[in-house]
Structure 1
């Protein structure tokens, strides 16, 4: 596979792994072993649609506009720097994520909650439509679509691993140290991506 695919995969994975309400919800449902497959597919397909929108739709609005490309590039870099600062702060504070262990929602209720966690979060649009779209559209055809395929593959792999592997990871991520390590890696990745954008 090409470097563009792996670049898209790594960039998307770095953004998705960041601790948030959607990940916490999928993790919780994975621990409970409730509706895991539908939730994993919903999250992955939602990301795929948003990434495609960024590359093929919203991304095209800025692709040939030098001013807008610069604006998204520097805006994306600032966002990544801030995202990294937040992750570093979480790592410094060393606060473990608490995962609720009760529930019993129907499939419809579980999907409705996941819909809210996904589409009512403004960061999902920044991550997928704006940031991944801008990064993809820095490349010519067909490399931008290969980048997008890598980004979508990362989403599917992450949510599958999170949902189905949650019951095995739960004891590990019950400790503050595990979250500190994860957030430290996320912070360094965000800063590295910001540097790449600024040097592009």
Structure 2
């Protein structure tokens, strides 16, 4: 049981640490929102989406979904549209030095964006299916449950921590220069991921 939990913790950290659209978006919201409470829609959505992906991968359901070609095409197409739009909005957004003047995006908009970069991210899907899902096969019963909850727990802790770090960085760099650079980097990563999705749709 303990070894399964440790395995889940190490594996989840290894998969979630690399810079990607999901991490950049959560950090960006932490840095730009006037209060940490304003980032909760993003943090909770990203955490819940990861919980869903991990649970489905352990159950083997996600593999079946990806084997249905038209479902995969629809998911990737929607992902491309969302990422292209998000990249445009992020690139155009202008940082405001006075945080009290910032008009935060509506919770619905934050949730939609966070869900799109979580559920429509091919890297996240392949990580959960190819790595977490495959690794869970070696466990059964209470050990598999421990492995699964360890992966999910790390995901929740990571997103809350990422938003908190982003909030502190935003406070230290309230001139707007850092946020402006972060927005540009975020937009480029989103567009780069959208291009990657388009390439995956091209028949080989």
Unaligned runs of 5+ in 2: 65-92, 97-102, 179-204
Mapped partners of 1:32, 1:143: distance in 2 = 40
Q: State whether structure 2 residue 53 is matched by structure 1 residue 47.
A: no
Mapped partners of 1:9, 1:101: distance in 2 = 36
Residue 5 of structure 2 corresponds to: 5
Q: Is the 8 A contact 2:53 2:62 kept in 1?
A: no
Q: Is the 8 A contact 1:29 1:163 kept in 2?
A: yes
How far is the alpha carbon of 1:154 from its aligned partner?
A: 0.4
Mapped partners of 2:94, 2:164: distance in 1 = 17
In structure 2, relative to structure 1, the CA distance for the partners of 1:13 and 1:100 (3 Å cut) is farther
Q: Is the 8 A contact 1:10 1:154 kept in 2?
A: no
Q: CA RMSD in A?
A: 2.7
Where do residues 57-68 of structure 1 align in structure 2 (5 Å cutoff)? 57-58=60-61
- Taking structure 1 as the reference length, what is the TM-score of the superposition? 0.60
In structure 2, relative to structure 1, the CA distance for the partners of 1:20 and 1:100 (3 Å cut) is farther
Q: Which runs of 4+ in 1 moved over 6 A?
A: none
Q: Deviations over 1:64-121 (max 9, x none)?
A: xxxxxxxxxxxxxxxxxxxxxxxxxxxxxxxxxxx98467321111111111211221
Q: Deviations over 1:7-56 (max 9, x none)?
A: 10111111111101111111111012363112111111111111111112
Residue 154 of structure 1 corresponds to: 154
- Taking structure 2 as the reference length, what is the TM-score of the superposition? 0.59
Mapped partners of 1:101, 1:17: distance in 2 = 26
In structure 2, relative to structure 1, the CA distance for the partners of 1:12 and 1:27 (3 Å cut) is same
How far is the alpha carbon of 1:167 from its aligned partner?
A: 2.5
In structure 2, relative to structure 1, the CA distance for the partners of 1:104 and 1:59 (3 Å cut) is closer
